Structure 1
């Protein structure tokens, strides 16, 4: 019996349209039902329906978008990389058919990734809930403007933070914005959360790693000198107000990403960081 397969395609990538139609033709020949979700820029419409698997054609950003939409539905993601070298999208366009057959036979790895639920509370009311695979960032809307945040976990008060912003990252997101801001690199399948201040006013404010079962609670203090933004996975932006409370905690579901296991992660890490491991290191 054929599968219901969704193709999420970033048309900004070179050869994306051609590859989309090639994959569609091959899969339909094999008896699968194909549903197309091509987009340029920011995706606006997500097709309804139950799918057995979703292919992404793009880079890591396309996988982030797909994860927010599909992980709550327990739909696995098959990430074909037609972008630059990425940490998540690991299937080469020339190898997708072989890897897909391996998935059907149960002989390819499926990486289970922690996601965060990000709740926005205002004056005691829950206004919005978003999900992220990489990170949630609270920052000033202007350039190099310090904001004041009160930060605590479910079990400890971390006190006031004065910084350009704050990154709350998953292990998957540890190699994204967080590492550029001096944060640690975590194994992508760890269950932990990174709290990483961006350019803190107090040098003793350093990145922290806490257990994934903890909540991270951030309150926007009063009398800010700049507008404050919440950015989810670098793709969704929400304007915050003074007194807003953001509660971040592990989501009730994991993202299932095919052929993007720890072995792939460390291979990409060595390449991106130029780890030679030899006498010339």
Structure 2
């Protein structure tokens, strides 16, 4: 959506224009059948293992088949994911990011339970999991279908790596106080050159993560958009750019780049870059389905986690 003002439009039309850019999933009040649940726990957190035990015992008593996985295991090799109806993620936002990438192609809703320090994606507290589970089964809460990105790394015009991310893709120097030289373009033309600590492309979900720390805007997670955000640019004129979700972003490492550069996706998957490498970022065909909380909205989470107005 253009950033221009529309003074001749009545306020109600402006509001309508903004609302229509969202990609919400309508609330389905029909009961949902769940017979096979995958519990995806951060095994490094003792409370996650304990809660996984309780969840397994409770759901098994309700005649629901429960499967267990921990971080570091290859989910696709261990379990037939096309038979799973729901994933329960136990940990922090990092656990959800790992889980979302692992099951991206299967369109399985994720009940994200927060056991971490911050928990922006994980809106559900550990003492709320049972009520949240049954609220979903009853059709009383919706699923937020979050935009994911597909990242391709090209070297000598050959794709050498493909990644999927829920938060962001970052290109940055590996050394301290090192600057990277990058050129960014879209399918509509060249955007410009950047001398900065790095450059990131974030999703609406990722807008509250690294991008926010780098001064970027916060987007509602249901928006269909991407953020191009320079990290500490060596200029006063570079600003964050919000683009429609269908855009394709290409970032090229300058041929004169001498210091080491790395590309990371969701802060968890890394690839070393060379001069003239090209990174292509586009909207993935898959989306992450995050089951919403019936106790707090995205705006309430913003207020409490970021302490807006004192967090009240």
- Indicate the residue corresponding to 1:49 in structure 2: 80
Q: Say whether 1:87 aligns with 2:120.
A: yes
Counterpart contact for 1:85–1:268, Cα < 8 Å: no
2:177 aligned with 1:148: no
Q: Distance in 2 between matches of 1:228 and 1:150?
A: 14
Structure 1 residue runs without a partner (length 5+): none
- Residues 1-281 of structure 1 mapped to structure 2, 5 A cutoff: 3-39=35-71, 43-46=72-75, 47-50=78-81, 51-260=84-293, 264-276=297-309
Cα-Cα RMSD: 1.9
- Provide Cα deviations, 1:119-162, integer angstroms capped at 9, x if missing partner: 11111111111011100000001112111111001112112111
Contact 1:86 1:268 in 2 (8 A): no
Change (3 A) 1:76 1:124: same
Q: Normalized against structure 1, the TM-score is what?
A: 0.93
For 2:211 and 2:99, how far apart are their aligned partners in 1?
A: 21
User: 2 CA distance for matches of 1:261 and 1:208?
Assistant: 33
Alpha-carbon distance between aligned partners in 1 of 2:203 and 2:182, rounded to the nearest angstrom: 20
Deviation at 1:272, TM superposition (A): 2.5
User: Quick one: distance in 2 between partners of 1:81 and 1:184?
Assistant: 24
Q: TM-score, normalised by structure 2?
A: 0.84
> Gaps spanning 5+ residues in structure 2: where?
1-32
Q: How far apart are residue 9 of structure 1 and its match? A: 0.4
Deviation of the 1:273 alpha carbon: 2.6
Kindly state the Cα deviation for residue 264 of structure 1 after the two structures are TM-superposed.
Answer: 2.5
| 3-state SS, counterpart of residue 28 of structure 1 | helix
User: How far apart in 1 are the matches of 2:143 and 2:304?
Assistant: 22
- Evaluate the alpha carbon distance shift between residue 35 and residue 74 of structure 1 in structure 2; reply closer, same or farther with a 3 A threshold: same
Query: Within 2, Cα distance between the matches of 1:183 and 1:129?
Result: 25
Asked if the contact 2:146–2:287 (Cα under 8 Å) also holds between the matched residues in 1, the reply is: yes
Aligned partner of residue 39 in structure 2, secondary structure: strand
CA contact (8 A) 2:34 2:85 kept: no
* Alignment CA distance shift 1:206-1:2 (3 Å): closer
